[in-house]
Structure 1
Amino acid sequence: MSDTFPTPPLGSSHLDNGFGLRPAGESDAATIASWMARPHIRRWWQQDWPVERWAEELNRQSAGEHSTPCVVSVDSEDVGYVELYRVRHDRLAEYYPSDDHDWGVHVAIGDVTRVGGGLGRRLLGALADALLASDPDCRRVVAEPDIDNTPSVRAFAAAGFVRQGELQLPEKTALLMVRTRTLEA
């Protein structure tokens, strides 16, 4: 199935709960590289890459059909990195009975002063709401945090994502978490 991917159908750069969302580009590589080097992200993402590699990665993602890299802001301050992707373009589709219109999310809150205060929960809820509202064919937004990443699992659960079981991925044991239109799995 073909679509106009990679742009998610969000329609606006403003999400609920005061979040801004914009496509990440090469000019964001230094900021994202610094976030990915922080211990609370490095452990789970394992993408502590130099700026040049992040610039290449952002260009690759922006030019492809796999995912859309984004920078999230709150109060006009950049605070995190998000990847939005159609599951059908991702290896995750091999691990659960996905639908063609399922969206997936990866989130990293880079601003360490914003970690632990509910920002992730609010962001995940706003992202899921926006994806579901703007794509009438999408029934689910999914995530696959590492099962040992307790803060992430809690944030997804608090945002209405429901645990669907463990997935053994090559680099981790993940927990498949699903957010539906009705907040029921």
Structure 2
Amino acid sequence: MSTTMTFTFRPLDPLRDAELLHAWVTHPKAAFWMMQDAKLEDVERAYMEIAADEHHHALLGLRDGVPAFLMEHYDPAHRELVGLYEPQPGDIGMHFLTPPTDTPVHGFTKAVITAVMARLFEDPAVRRVVVEPDVHNKAVHALNAAVGFVPEREIQKPEKKALLSFCTREQFEKAVAA
């Protein structure tokens, strides 16, 4: 990356942002998001449920004030991974989605996951980030490894076979310093 990318975050507005999100999550590039056939109302409903959930949060990542990616974080003791692993104090779960583009920017997605991780670790209570991407999503496995994630094992979720992976604050700092 020749220029540093800076991002800001704002809470997702399920109604105001639904059209934008719908275009992102139904695009073939977002197949692993599992919302390919979602209607606009489905996206609104899904993100209204997240907005009302004290254990799950959705943020838009902005670049120069323009929505550039989606970030979700959740408490794995209450969402997504309940009963699939033993959560530790300070664990936080994470998803992120970069939208399709006709003008890809080299290093953009790595800059996004780095910003997402930095944002999560801004909270001193967060000790470890947990992810559970589809086992077939090789691109995200490589990105996860680049920011310090270490795969632990495959798990079976209701909707997919996932690669349970963890990244501590120390692993993240070491990976981004490299």
- Report the alpha carbon displacement of residue 115 of structure 1 after superposing the two structures with TM: 5.5
The Cα offsets for residues 15-55 of structure 1, whole Å up to 9 and x where unpaired, read as x94012111111000000011111010x2111131112211
> Is the 8 Å Cα contact of residues 76 and 87 (structure 2) preserved in structure 1?
yes
Q: What is the CA-CA distance between 1:131 and the residue it aligns to? A: 1.6
When normalised by structure 1's length, the TM-score is 0.81
In structure 2, how many angstroms separate the alpha carbons of the residues matched to 1:120 and 1:31? Answer: 18
**Counterparts in 2 of 1:115 and 1:108: CA distance versus 1, 3 Å:** farther
Alignment of 1:89-128 (within 5 A): 89-113=78-102, 117-128=106-117
Matches within 5 A, 1:7-26: 17-25=5-13, 26=15
Shift of 1:178: 1.1
1:15-54, aligned counterparts within 5 Å?
A: 17-25=5-13, 26-41=15-30, 43-48=31-36, 49-54=38-43
Dislocated runs of 4+, deviation >3 Å: 113-116
2:147 partner letter: A
**Alpha carbons 1:86, 1:101 under 8 Å: kept:** no
Aligned CA RMSD, in angstroms, stands at 2.0
For the pair 1:131 / 2:120, whether they are aligned, the reply is: yes
Determine whether 1:178 maps to 2:166.
yes
SS in 1 for 2:88: coil
- Mind listing any 5+ residue stretches in structure 2 that lack a counterpart? 173-178
Pick from 79, 88, 107: which aligns with 2:77?
88
More helix by share: 1
Match of 1:27, SS state, is coil
- Distance in 1 between the 2:103 and 2:118 partners? 21
Structure 1 residues 40 and 99: alpha-carbon distance in aligned structure 2, compared to 1, 3 A threshold = same
Question: What's the % identity of the aligned pairs?
Answer: 29
Aligned residue-pair number = 167
- CA distance in structure 2 between the partners assigned to 1:104 and 1:87 by the alignment: 6
Q: Distance in 2 between matches of 1:68 and 1:57?
A: 12
The secondary structure found in structure 1 opposite 2:16 is helix
**Residue 176 of structure 2: aligned partner:** none
Alignment gaps of 5+ in structure 1: 1-15
Instruction: Give the stretch that moved more between structures: 167-176 or 116-125.
Output: 116-125
